Amino acid sequence: MQLPHERGPVSRHVIESLRSDRPGAAFFALGPDDVIGDEDVQLALWTIYELHYRGFHGVDDDREWDLGLLTLRREIESRFESELRAVTRELVTGVPQHGDLGQQLLDLVAADDGPSLAAFLQRRASIEQLRDFLRERSVQQLKESDPQSFVLPRLDGRAKAALAELQYDEYGGGRPERLHATLYADALSAAGLDATYGAYIDHVTGVSLTLCNVVSMFGLNRRLRGASMGHLAAFEASSSVPSRKIAGGLERVGLPPAVAAYFHEHVEADAVHEHVASSDICGTMVAEDPGLRDDVLFGAAACLHLDALSGAELLERWTTGLEKAS
């Protein structure tokens, strides 16, 4: 993959540093604004994280451990995490201290009243808007499940076996053509889009980068393993019904069956995965280490919060466009 184009001073600093052989500056002062919605900061973070995944053409693999970039990463992460904790605090503290955590996670998702992107995609979206949606999600879905794989060595016993079982499904059950990331690439190609890893990095919104970065932050910090698995539980539990709706929308506008196939796969699979993630993984982790409970809930609440943010952003973009067109 090529390095992305900068979106401001922070991403410029990271990209220029990687383009040259100069180590990243150890101290880079971030501006005072929130980083959750800052596309420049999110692109900088995404670029630093990508060094742990596939890297960039012409950039030495060893830059993964560039101390200056790692210091900047920690500074961004610290702001990102504390902002996320602040916006999700009410949701997390609203969950009773006692009770079945697996069920509490499912209840949290069921009670979520974020904007229904899936309903819009099902009933109203134009073919261009559906393609736009596929493009925006490509940043995270082309490395679907990879961030959670970093958590496997940090778990043990039943939770580890359950995550391995879930990941085995996500990774195609031994069949490379069934890798969920490959199914997503097939969907992009069938929709006439570019399925190359990272192809749309310069086109997607800052919030799409944020959705991608939160799972990397949770997956790459052992301290946040509870949040990573809580996020996974919420992600899986908010996937099955929306996937059915999105598949319906893709079929409504006449896109080829390979496009909807990715979403059909998730109707069945995620109805199972939500229980594996919420009970077998999160429930077990918290039963063994009750200190992880709040972080599991934090991860789930962060997933719902950012999903709502992304849904609202895309709906506004599309409905404003509709109003202009009419």
Shortest Å, Cβ 168 to Fe ion: 11
Q: Judged by CB, which is closer to Fe ion: 186, or 236?
A: 236
Site residues for Fe ion, 51-90, by CB under 5 A, read none
Closest separation in Å from C-beta 2 to Fe ion: 27
Q: Does 270 bind Fe ion (CB under 5 A)?
A: yes
Which one, of 168, 158, 107, 169, lies nearest residue 280 by Cα?
A: 158
Residue with smaller CB distance to Fe ion, 135 or 273? 273
Q: Is 180 in the site for Fe ion (CB under 5 A)?
A: yes
Which region, judged by CB under 5 A, interacts with Fe ion, from 178-186, 245-253, 296-304, 315-323? 178-186
Q: Is 273 in the site for Fe ion (CB under 5 A)?
A: yes
Residues 249-268 interacting with Fe ion (rule: CB under 5 A) = none
CB of 309 to Fe ion, least distance (A): 21
Residue closer to Fe ion, measured from CB, 33 or 268: 268
Nearest distance from residue 269's CB to Fe ion, in Å?
5
Which residues are CB-contacts of 319 (< 8 A; sequence separation ≥ 6)?
Answer: none
* Distances from the Cα of 217 to the Cα of 76, 188, 214, angstroms: 10, 26, 5
Q: Which helix (H) or strand (E) holds 91?
A: helix 67-93
Subset of 228-247 contacting Fe ion (CB under 5 A): 236
- DSSP assignment of 120-188 equals HHHHT--HHHHHHHHHHHHHHHTTTTHHHHTTGGG--HHHHHHHHHHHHHHTGGG-GGG-HHHHHHHHH
From the list 42, 25, 44, the residue with the least C-alpha distance to 34 is 42
| Contact status: 143 vs Fe ion (CB under 5 A) | no
- Minimum CB–partner distance for residue 267 and Fe ion (Å): 11
Which CB sits closer to Fe ion, 47 or 284? 284
Q: How many residues bind Fe ion (CB under 5 A)?
A: 5
* Piece in contact with Fe ion (CB under 5 A), picked from 155-163, 166-174, 202-210, 245-253: 166-174
Q: Is 317 exposed, middle or buried (0-12, 13-18, 19+ CB in 10 A)?
A: middle
Q: Which 8-state DSSP code applies to residue 65?
A: G
Helix (H) or strand (E) holding 214: helix 206-220
Q: For residue 24, give the H/E element and its range.
A: none
The pair of structure tokens assigned to 227 is 């949040």
Check binding of 225 to Fe ion (CB under 5 A). Answer: no
- The least CB distance from residue 156 to Fe ion, in Å, is 22
Q: Which residue is nearest to Fe ion (CB)?
A: 180
We find the least distance from the C-beta atom of residue 5 to Fe ion, in angstroms, to be: 29
Q: Which residues bind Fe ion (CB under 5 A)?
A: 170, 180, 236, 270, 273
